[in-house]
Chain A
Amino acid sequence: MVSHRFYQYWLQVKESGWIFANELRRIFRDPGVMVIFFLGTLAYPFIYKAMYWNEQITDIPVAVVDLSRSPESREFLHRWNAAPDVRMTYSCTSMTEAERLLRDQKVHGIIYFPRNYADQLADPLGKAHISLYCDMSSFLYMKGIYLSCNQVMLELMQQIQIDRYENMGLNEEFAWELVQEAPYSENALFSPTGGYGSFLVPAVLVMILHQTLFFGICMLAGTIREEKTELYRIPGRRRGYSAFRTILGRGAAYFVIYYTLAAILLGLLPRLFGIPHIGAIGDILRFNVPFILSVIFMSLCVGFFIRNRESGLVMLVPTTSLIFLFIAGISWPKEMIPVGWRYASYLIPYTWASNGFIHINSMGASLWTTRTEYLALWGLTAFYFVLAVAMFFTAGYLEDRKERLASQSEGDRPVLASEPVPVQA
């Protein structure tokens, strides 16, 4: 009795193994899926790395309108030009001229010194103004121009303050102490250069894995439908369905491929690319397990509704990637996302996976520190697994019953569950 039951289980395991092998064969014979699975995951990271190669935007061209023409303003400009962020390419005599340069995109910023700049500085009670105009076509122009200018201003201001205190009759040492009384040190953590690539590439790597797996599975699901069978059917059979065996077998096939790809993309590439990678590799590998599993089961659930080989791509490609990226709180802080969207984001593995990966890889968190994301991914894995099993089982059961009733009413010979059907090439 026991051995009989054991044999039954063994048969089911064997069947899952067969579904697994069959799914692998389907993947490798399908050029469309191969493009997405392998070309997408392996070529995309390099394109993104090449795009953000310089990490930082340097030498932003700016125009100077210096109406004061004083040693003070020249001193300021001299120091500012030494900053890596900007390069003064044009010196204009009027704002109109500078505005025309900005309009023609020859420069991305204008600095303007009013005529009374030096006089205001010389006046012990005066306050000098500098105007800065930034091109807003990219926020990085504004950041580079504004922060570097601010830095120069803070440096120069101390000198001016000391001069003024001395003029008031304070002795030099005391003036200096007064100005320097509470110094500060600023520390940028986790990415010393503050580069854009160091920030975005980790999130993009996770996105590439997430979306290619998602689209690939949806495509394979659509293909099954076109071959006049269903996801819950055991391949090669007309009758008989299994939610467990098909999900486990198919899932294992995707998992084997994608776990390897994830190890390459998330483990190897950050080291190869020289972007921040201070996390423990073991933690990343462990974190990848629920990440890949949850995406697989979510995609199987979505793929259940896809009727055509291609419709999944047409429907999902244009919108999902960008929505997933923004809802996850990477580009735009999660605190600023409306509550409704934030709750919706919890259902998407990308939200947890990208934040968790950034915490481990870029910020050196341990798996224990990032347990919220890790456990959430396991939660999503369980949720989508149960959902997929329930959907597959219900659909299989209903269809089987319908066919059984139909064949009984016609009085036909019931078709054997294991009757083989020729597999389509």
Chain B
Amino acid sequence: MKDIFWHIWQVLLRELQRIVSRPLYLGSSIGAMLIAIFFFMTLMERGAAEKMPVAVVDLDQTSISRRVCHEMQATPSVDIILLTNSYPEAREAMQQGKVYGIFVVPEGFYRDLVSFKRPQLDFYVTNAYTVGGNTSYKQMLTMANLASGAFQREVLRKKGMPDNVIMNRIQPVAIEGHMLTNPWGNYTIYLVSTVLPGILGVIALMLTVFAIGFELKSKTSHEWLRAAGGNYTVAMIGKLIPYTVIYLVLGCVCHLLFYNIAGFPVLGSHIRLLFGLLLFIMAMEVMGIVLIGCLPTLRDALSVGALYSMLGFSLSGFTYPNMAMLPPVRALSNLEPLRHYYLIYVNEALMGAPATNSLLPSMALVAFFIPALCVAPRLHHALIYQNYPLK
């Protein structure tokens, strides 16, 4: 037993020397991750979309149409950057991506309004850009309803009613929206708490493939096995310990940054969330072993690893929910460790669910070790005989 620890220590020391021998190892783990953290934490200064540019086509040019513009401009979510009297001009601005919505006040709006001819307001939003389109849609919908409400208010005022009574008549029902655990509708919280761990996972997979594949490619696997006393398991454990520690430290940096500094909510347990992250990283490393075990060349394994790991972001279902995918695709998403980490994250951070809810996704992450056991004989054989083609 003592022997095993001594060998693990030997492999670990050897690996540390390899890590510092080339800038690639630290650059692609710590360097890349710090860049990603910096990028995503500074990308969204404000978490919610504000001041989305829209165009107003004012064909009426009266005091009431100008008032609609003023009130719209005063709202936080839209910004009128184009005020014109030609619809084609506004449409072209939309096609150029300059505005996300067009609000049209028809000709003779005021005249028709006072003579009860029911003029119609039109608004157009683009669906080619989701966030911008939705934000301007909500605001224009509110404006159109307010315009109708403003008119009712004028009529009722003339009938001598006090304002507070009028308001309840105009809006007899109100919906109070509660966005649980993210009451600000903050996009940053929603995005980075899955994307950054996801990036860390991709790094873990790619670097594991590289670290093992490079031994094969440069024919140093004998030296590696010798340090491990010829034991395959010891060789793998010793090799992956330093990387796992690096990833775990980076994961803790993310965790501190999210939940202690930026103040993202965690309703459940910090420990279980971090433990889920550790399991996720290990599952990604293990998938790296599977890939290099199955695919002969380092380069092919990396190419396939890149295609496989990048799919995890979409398949995890944090942008487009998993339940809306076709059943075979939904089944496929279980092959991505990020999917299971996301479930743990939802349970622990957003829902504050009991530990039993996170049990199943945790078990799924552990299950990724099974294919690694299957490729172990093949990879061990390759380490001994170095019979992988080099190109």
**A190–B36 alpha-carbon span in the complex (Å):** 33
Q: For B24, what are the chain A residues with a Cβ–Cβ distance below 8 Å?
A: 308, 311, 314-315
Q: Within B251-302, which residues are at the interface with A (CB < 8 Å)?
A: 297-300, 302
CB within 8 Å for A182 and B148 given contacts A156-B173, A330-B129, A333-B49: yes
Q: In this assembly, does A12 line the interface, its C-beta being within 8 Å of a C-beta of chain B?
A: no
> Whose C-beta in chain A lies nearest to the C-beta of B128?
A362
Interface-central residue, A130, A323, A327, A363, by most chain B CB under 10 Å: A363
19 additional A-B pairs beyond A51-B320, A53-B325, A334-B97, beta carbons within 8 Å, are: A32-B303, A43-B307, A47-B311, A53-B329, A102-B180, A134-B177, A140-B321, A141-B321, A160-B172, A161-B152, A184-B144, A189-B124, A196-B130, A310-B213, A311-B28, A314-B24, A326-B40, A330-B129, A333-B52
Which of A121-129, A253-261, A380-388 contacts the other chain?
A: A121-129
Q: Which of A58, A133, A161, A202 contacts B324 (CB 8 A)?
A: A58
Q: For B169, what are the chain A residues with a Cβ–Cβ distance below 8 Å?
A: 124-125, 161, 164-165
B-contact bits for A103-125, CB 8 A (1 contact / 0 none): 11100000000000000010011
B95 A142 Cβ-Cβ under 8 A: no
Q: For A124, what are the chain B residues with a Cβ–Cβ distance below 8 Å?
A: 169
A residues engaging B (CB < 8 A)? 30-33, 35-36, 39-40, 43-44, 47-48, 50-54, 56-58, 60, 102-105, 121, 124-143, 146, 149-150, 153-154, 156-157, 160-161, 164-165, 177-192, 194-196, 198-200, 202, 215, 219, 276, 308-311, 313-315, 317-319, 321-323, 326-327, 330-338, 341, 355, 358-359, 362-365, 369-370, 372
Q: In this assembly, does B122 line the interface, its C-beta being within 8 Å of a C-beta of chain A?
A: yes
Q: In this assembly, does B80 line the interface, its C-beta being within 8 Å of a C-beta of chain A?
A: no
Q: In this assembly, does B50 line the interface, its C-beta being within 8 Å of a C-beta of chain A?
A: yes
> Whose C-beta in chain B lies nearest to the C-beta of A139?
B190
Q: Which of A52, A131, A184, A318 contacts B123 (CB 8 A)?
A: A184
CB within 8 Å for A181 and B210 given contacts A164-B172, A359-B96: no
A332 B187 Cβ-Cβ under 8 A: yes
Q: In this assembly, does B20 line the interface, its C-beta being within 8 Å of a C-beta of chain A?
A: no
B168 A126 Cβ-Cβ under 8 A: yes
Shortest Cβ distance from residue A212 to the other chain B in the assembled complex, whole angstroms: 9
Q: In this assembly, does B227 line the interface, its C-beta being within 8 Å of a C-beta of chain A?
A: no
B53 A335 Cβ-Cβ under 8 A: yes
A-contact bits for B110-139, CB 8 A (1 contact / 0 none): 000100101111111111111111110100
A/B interface sample: 10 pairs, CB < 8 A: A31-B297, A32-B297, A138-B190, A184-B145, A185-B121, A199-B127, A200-B320, A318-B32, A318-B199, A362-B128
How many residue pairs bridge A and B at CB < 8 Å? 347
**A84–B49 alpha-carbon span in the complex (Å):** 26
CB within 8 Å for A332 and B302 given contacts A182-B144, A187-B123: no
**A313–B152 alpha-carbon span in the complex (Å):** 63
Q: For A36, what are the chain B residues with a Cβ–Cβ distance below 8 Å?
A: 303, 306-307
B326 A364 Cβ-Cβ under 8 A: no
A136 B182 Cβ-Cβ under 8 A: yes
> Whose C-beta in chain A lies nearest to the C-beta of B352?
A103
Q: In this assembly, does B246 line the interface, its C-beta being within 8 Å of a C-beta of chain A?
A: no
A-contact bits for B143-182, CB 8 A (1 contact / 0 none): 0110110011001000000000100111111111111111
Q: For A127, what are the chain B residues with a Cβ–Cβ distance below 8 Å?
A: 168, 171-174
Shortest Cβ distance from residue B383 to the other chain A in the assembled complex, whole angstroms: 18
> Whose C-beta in chain B lies nearest to the C-beta of A145?
B177
B321 A138 Cβ-Cβ under 8 A: yes
> Whose C-beta in chain A lies nearest to the C-beta of B199?
A318
B118 A180 Cβ-Cβ under 8 A: yes
Q: For B351, what are the chain A residues with a Cβ–Cβ distance below 8 Å?
A: 102-103, 105
A153 B127 Cβ-Cβ under 8 A: no
A-contact bits for B189-230, CB 8 A (1 contact / 0 none): 011000100010011001100100110000000000000000
Q: In this assembly, does B44 line the interface, its C-beta being within 8 Å of a C-beta of chain A?
A: yes
Q: Which of B46, B127, B195 contacts A191 (CB 8 A)?
A: B127
CB within 8 Å for A136 and B190 given contacts A130-B175, A153-B173, A184-B120: yes
A363 B126 Cβ-Cβ under 8 A: yes
Interface-central residue, B155, B199, B302, B309, by most chain A CB under 10 Å: B302
Q: For B130, what are the chain A residues with a Cβ–Cβ distance below 8 Å?
A: 196, 199-200, 331
The 9 residue pairs across chains A and B that have the minimum distance between CB atoms: A32-B299, A191-B127, A184-B144, A365-B95, A57-B324, A318-B202, A136-B182, A35-B303, A184-B121
> Whose C-beta in chain B lies nearest to the C-beta of A159?
B172
Q: In this assembly, does B14 line the interface, its C-beta being within 8 Å of a C-beta of chain A?
A: no
Q: Which of A54, A188, A334 contacts B127 (CB 8 A)?
A: A188
B131 A332 Cβ-Cβ under 8 A: yes
**A332–B42 alpha-carbon span in the complex (Å):** 13
Shortest Cβ distance from residue B91 to the other chain A in the assembled complex, whole angstroms: 8
Q: For A43, what are the chain B residues with a Cβ–Cβ distance below 8 Å?
A: 307
Shortest Cβ distance from residue B144 to the other chain A in the assembled complex, whole angstroms: 4
A184 B206 Cβ-Cβ under 8 A: no
CB within 8 Å for A161 and B172 given contacts A103-B353, A319-B32: yes
Shortest Cβ distance from residue B205 to the other chain A in the assembled complex, whole angstroms: 9
Interface-central residue, B45, B51, B95, B121, by most chain A CB under 10 Å: B95
Q: In this assembly, does B27 line the interface, its C-beta being within 8 Å of a C-beta of chain A?
A: yes
B116 A181 Cβ-Cβ under 8 A: yes
**A186–B144 alpha-carbon span in the complex (Å):** 10
Shortest Cβ distance from residue A198 to the other chain B in the assembled complex, whole angstroms: 7
**A409–B43 alpha-carbon span in the complex (Å):** 56
Shortest Cβ distance from residue B360 to the other chain A in the assembled complex, whole angstroms: 11
Q: In this assembly, does B8 line the interface, its C-beta being within 8 Å of a C-beta of chain A?
A: no
